[in-house]
Amino acid sequence: MDARRKRINRLKKIIIITVLILILVPIVLCIILFAKLNYTKSKLEDVEEKLDNLIAMRDDGEIIEKTNEETGEVFYVYATANKELKVGASKAQEDAKKVYLTIDDGPSAMTDRILEILDSYNVKATFFVNGRTDEASIEAYKKIVNAGHSIGIHTYSHNYDSVYASVESFASEVDSLRNLIKDVTGKDTNLFRFPGGSSTTLAKNTGIRPLIDYLNQNGYVYFDWNVSSGDSTAGGLSAEQIVANVTTHVGEFDTPVVLMHDSEAKATTVEALPYIIENLLNMGYEICAIDEDTTPVQHVIK
């Protein structure tokens, strides 16, 4: 009797397992097939969208610039009557490299022309000026500030014998120009550039350190340059040489600061300026004015 019951029980087990397998296998297969179907469907939708885009590209359309209102990102879409296809971000957004054009020794008879050129490209520069009180110079200071350019102090007289005579003389050369600029334009600037740069050997009476100390103690920040346009080379340079000096060297620095001059004697600088700007823009640079957040380029570190 025992042996018979055991056989019956084993048979029962076999039947139950078989039934379970018969039920479970189709369910599992269904689940797998369902997942595969969904995957295939989504792939198909992707392909359909790409196909739609391709068809849209074949239609008459145009590339238009758009701005993401939340992030401010500028991007381009290929737009047709019923379709928009994103085709890329703007060059400036992709690699916003900054370059600073600094223009020393003005105002001069060239200032107006320089301002017109900068304005026509809608780019900003930094003018390290000297002290002049004739009518045209007073107007020039105002125009520089009102156009949104930065204005900095390049000492009142630019006369090396006076600027570098003593710390007191230096202080007076700096502060008197700061006051003149403030009176005329309303702008109180603390940007400074040494005549000859902070590495000049002309400050032999005092050494450069006490002058740097004076600037630091009185809230001035001095800026030198790392790219020279070469426009102060004796005998002058052609516009082509000035353009080449700038465009071949800006790439060597993370923060290129370009030295050029605003002077009646330097007509080739003005001639070169539009080409310099166009080349820099084509190279993907954003041309900016120096402000208080700009990391100073300094030959002699404070």
Nearest distance from C-beta of residue 230 to Zn ion, angstroms? 14
Judged by CB, which is closer to Zn ion: 212, or 285?
Answer: 212
- Nearest-CB residue for Zn ion: 104
Judged by CB, which is closer to Zn ion: 78, or 192?
Answer: 192
Q: What is the 3-state secondary structure (H, E, C) of the chain?
A: CHHHHHHHHHHHHHHHHHHHHHHHHHHHHHHHHHHHHHHHHHHHHHHHHHHHHHHHHHCCCEEEEEECCCCCCEEEEEECCCCEEEEEECHHHHCCEEEEEEEECCCCCCHHHHHHHHHHCCCCCEEEECCCCCHHHHHHHHHHHHCCCEEEECCCCCCHHHHCCCHHHHHHHHHHHHHHHHHHHCCCCCEECCCCCCCCCCCCCCCHHHHHHHHHHCCCEECCCCEECCCCCCCCCCHHHHHHHHHHHHHHCCCCEEEEECCCCCHHHHHHHHHHHHHHHHCCEEEECCCCCCCCCCCCCC
Judged by CB, which is closer to Zn ion: 195, or 256?
Answer: 195
Residues lying near Zn ion in the complex (CB under 5 A) are found at 104-105, 195
Judged by CB, which is closer to Zn ion: 78, or 194?
Answer: 194
Judged by CB, which is closer to Zn ion: 143, or 154?
Answer: 154
Nearest distance from C-beta of residue 53 to Zn ion, angstroms? 57
Nearest distance from C-beta of residue 105 to Zn ion, angstroms? 4
Nearest distance from C-beta of residue 227 to Zn ion, angstroms? 16
Nearest distance from C-beta of residue 175 to Zn ion, angstroms? 18
Nearest distance from C-beta of residue 272 to Zn ion, angstroms? 18
Judged by CB, which is closer to Zn ion: 104, or 231?
Answer: 104
